[in-house]
Amino acid sequence: MKFRQEHPDISESDERALVQAVRTLEHEAGQESTPSVSEAYWQNLIVRTNRRVDAVSSGKAISISWAARVAIPGVVAIVSFLVALHYYVPVQTHQHSDVESIVLGLPDRAVDSLLTESSLTEETLVAVAANGNLFDVPSEQIGEYLIENDNTLALVEMLPEQQADQMLDLLAKGK
């Protein structure tokens, strides 16, 4: 160390001599090196220091009580809710009594998809009918149906020509 190299041997007597010299100079300067402080100041210092300690410790207490009263219960409540949500959500049974509520609950894409499929089904039915499969039922039943409803003419008028021909063939076979 620099100081130790400069003064490798600082004896006690050297130190004492220097201290004495400084004390003498201090005395000669004729000034009080230690200004006086009144007793009231020390009392006041204790009061002010206690106030600062109170402020710091109450700040700690506030933060602890806030954590105890608000933060911890809040966190516990949120975690409990999430756990409950994760484990105890009611299982969807797919047994809705109300069809409307199911449809309304469907996402838009699903509804669009169903509508498309529905129209496809209609087309498919027409195609099937065009191929003659639609009337692939016992001719007796068809005949009974037409007689019971007494609407043979309207039914025939509504049919496309090809289907009407098929129906007539079927009826002819039934006879």
Partner 1 sequence: MEELSDLQLIDEVRNGKRRAFTELMRRYQQRVYWVARRIVGTHEDADDIAQETFVKAYIALGDFRGESSFFTWLYRIAVNLSLNAIRKRQLVNYLRENEIINRIFPSSDDPSREVEFKETQSRLQEAIAQLPEKQRAVFVMRYYDEMSYEEISEVMKTSVGGLKANYFHALRKVREYMTNEIPSGTSGHQRK
Asked if residue 102 binds partner 1 (CB under 8 A), the reply is no
**Region 49-88 residues binding partner 1, contact defined as CB under 8 A:** 49-50, 52-53, 56-57
User: What ranges make up the beta strands (E) of the chain?
Assistant: none
Residue 139 CA: distances (Å) to CA of 29, 154, 164:
140, 19, 14
Q: How far is the CB of 32 from partner 1 (least distance, A)?
A: 7
CB of 62 to partner 1, least distance (A): 15
Whether the Cβ atoms of residue 167 and residue 132 lie closer than 8 Å to each other: no
- Taking the least distance from each CB to partner 1, the nearer of 57 and 80 is 57
State whether residue 100 is helix, strand or coil.
Answer: helix
42 binds partner 1 (CB under 8 A): yes
User: From the centroid of its chain, how far is CA 61?
Assistant: 33
Which amino acid appears at position 122 of this protein? E
The residue written with tokens 């409803």 in the block is 149
Interface with partner 1 includes 15 (CB under 8 A)? yes
Pick from 13, 32, 40, 175 the residue near partner 1 by CB under 8 A. 32
* Contacting positions for partner 1 (CB under 8 A): 1, 3-4, 6-7, 10, 14-15, 18-19, 21-22, 25-26, 28-35, 37, 42, 45-46, 48-50, 52-53, 56-57
